[in-house]
């Protein structure tokens, strides 16, 4: 793989959610990521979060399987895992042991609540981690908060923060620093995503009531409206000049309110409004569904979405001028690269056969 992370090797302990998302990002940008699969993991064919890496399937309940991970980590630049605190230590694969063997190793850990704190050992999901940040309270209509899909805590607060932390720590190692542990808590990361909201609240420009603020639908020109065909139009006209362009395009005066805007938008279809406002600074966009988004002209022009073996998915982001990334490749069969990975670690054909016969290598 080409890209700015070319030359780095990351070991990923197979899991779901933010850890594979972070591993996907690192692989997208050129790192060689070796995914250690564990039997019984939840997954599906063509999963975008498993693209662009080799995989080996091991039984980590057996010491021989754990020894393979130790040998992988001994020469790797980084390792990523997303298990509850203490799981890797009980396997003998915790950071103290692996960094002792490889002092330059960056050991990335992502959990819901972090490695310590009263909730560290508690179960949870994105909605729970988001709930304690204060941000979930502000998402949804005035009547009650709504579940915002698992984008904010799992992937923005967890996966992206872990990927950023890994790159930052790997850069420190390249500058002469030592390996270290990255403690990425989804609750911490999701809270950080809300930095602007907390800043506005401190400045007296944000209140805890939903649909009462500039960016949560409280403004009639920063909201979503139903069109004549039942589809929706997103308005983002905050600044006065954009608001003026919007209202002029709707045939309304500057004093128009929410009901006036809703009535005007309801007179045409979503696509008619998109055409009507094309080229203007009215900050208008169609609300596309998942089947429509890849076909949008802007997304097509930029190659925002890609097709890997029939699975339409977002491509790598961001883009680089000097070190462009290779296109991702679809995930292979779990464990398909096991033999080649072991050969690279110095295992003989007989040793590999013994691991397979013993059920260590799947």
Q: What are the pLDDT digits (tens) for 152-196?
A: 999 999 999 999 999 999 999 999 999 999 999 999 999 999 999
State the chain's mean pLDDT as an integer: 96
Confidence of residue 1 (pLDDT cuts 50, 70, 90): low
Q: How confident is the model at residue 152, as a pLDDT?
A: 95
Average pLDDT score over residue span 119-124: 96
What pLDDT score was predicted for residue 296?
Answer: 97
Query: Taking residues 118-142, what's their average pLDDT?
Result: 96
Q: What is the pLDDT of residues 17-56, one digit of tens each?
A: 999 999 999 999 999 999 999 866 667 888 999 999 999 9
183 with 117: CB under 8 angstroms?
A: no
On the question of pLDDT at 148 being above 70, the answer is yes
For the segment 75-100, the average pLDDT, to the nearest whole number, is 97
Q: What is the pLDDT of residue 44?
A: 80
Q: Where are the domains of the chain?
A: 9-193+306-357, 213-226+232-286
Three-state secondary structure string covering the chain: CCCCCCCCEEEEECCCCHHHHHHHHHHHCCCEEEEEECCCCCCCCCCHHHCCCEEEEECCCCHHHHHHHHHHHHHCCEEEECCCCCHHHHCCCCHHHHHHHCCCCEEEEEECCCCCCCCCCCCCCHHHHHHCCCCHHHCCCCCCCCCCHHHHHHHHHHHHHHHHHHHHHHHHHHCCCCCCEEEEEHHHHHHHHCHHHHHHHHCCCCCCCCCCCCCCCCCCCCCEEECCCCCEEEECCCCHHHHHHHHHHCCCCCCCCHHHHHHHHCCCCHHHHHHHHCCCCCCEEECCCCCCHHHCHHHHHHCCEEEECCEEEECCCCCCCCCCCCCCCCCCCCCCCHHHHHHHCCCCHHHHHHHHHCCCEC
- Judged against a pLDDT cut of 80, whether residue 230 lies above it is answered with yes
- Measured between alpha carbons, how far is 133 from 129 in angstroms, rounded to an integer? 7
Q: Inform me whether the pLDDT recorded for 2 exceeds 90.
A: no
Kindly report, residue by residue over 257-309, the tens digit of the pLDDT. Answer: 999 999 999 999 999 999 999 999 999 999 999 999 999 999 999 999 999 99
Q: Which CATH superfamily groups domain 213-226+232-286? A: formyl-coa transferase, domain 3 (3.30.1540.10)
Q: Stretch 234-258: mean pLDDT, rounded?
A: 97
| Residues assigned a catalytic role | 125, 154
Q: Is the pTM of this model over 0.85?
A: yes
Q: Residue 41: CB partners within 8 Å, gap ≥ 6?
A: 14, 15, 16
Question: Was domain 9-193+306-357 assigned CATH 3.40.50.150?
Answer: no
Average pLDDT of 65-75? 97
């Amino acid at each position: 793989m080409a890209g700015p992370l070319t030359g780095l090797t990351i070991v990923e302990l197979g899991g779901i959610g933010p850890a594979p998302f972070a591993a996907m990002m690192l692989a997208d940008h050129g790192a060689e990521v070796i995914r250690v699969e564990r039997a019984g993991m939840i997954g599906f064919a063509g999963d975008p979060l498993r693209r662009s890496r080799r995989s080996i399937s091991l039984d980590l309940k057996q010491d021989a399987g754990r020894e393979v991970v130790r040998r992988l980590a001994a020469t790797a630049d980084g390792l990523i895992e997303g298990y509850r605190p203490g799981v890797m230590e009980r396997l003998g694969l915790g950071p103290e042991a692996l960094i002792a063997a490889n002092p330059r190793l960056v050991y990335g850990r992502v959990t819901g609540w972090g490695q310590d704190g009263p909730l560290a050992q508690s179960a949870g999901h994105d909605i729970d981690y988001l709930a304690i940040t204060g941000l979930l309270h502000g998402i949804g209509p005035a009547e009650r908060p709504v579940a915002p899909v698992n984008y904010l805590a799992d992937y923005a607060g967890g996966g992206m923060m872990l990927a950023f932390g890994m790159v930052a720590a790997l850069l420190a190692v390249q500058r002469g620093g030592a390996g270290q542990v990255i403690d990425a808590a989804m609750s911490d990361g999701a809270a950080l995503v809300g930095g602007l909201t907390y800043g506005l609240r401190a400045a007296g420009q944000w209140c805890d009531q939903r649909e009462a603020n500039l960016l949560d639908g409280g403004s009639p020109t920063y909201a979503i409206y139903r069109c004549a065909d039942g589809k929706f139009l997103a308005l983002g006209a905050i600044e006065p000049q954009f608001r003026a362009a919007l209202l002029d395009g709707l045939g309304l005066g500057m004093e128009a309110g929410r009901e006036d805007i809703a009535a005007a938008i309801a007179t045409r279809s979503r696509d008619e409004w998109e055409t009507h406002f094309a080229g203007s600074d009215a900050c208008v966009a169609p609300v596309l569904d998942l089947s429509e988004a890849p076909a949008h002209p802007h997304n097509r022009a930029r190659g925002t979405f890609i097709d890997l073996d029939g699975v339409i998915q977002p491509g790598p982001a961001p883009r680089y001028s000097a070190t462009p990334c290779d296109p991702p490749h679809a995930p292979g069969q779990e464990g398909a690269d096991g033999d080649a990975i072991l050969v690279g670690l110095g295992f003989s054909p007989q040793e590999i056969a013994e691991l397979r016969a013993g059920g260590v290598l799947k």
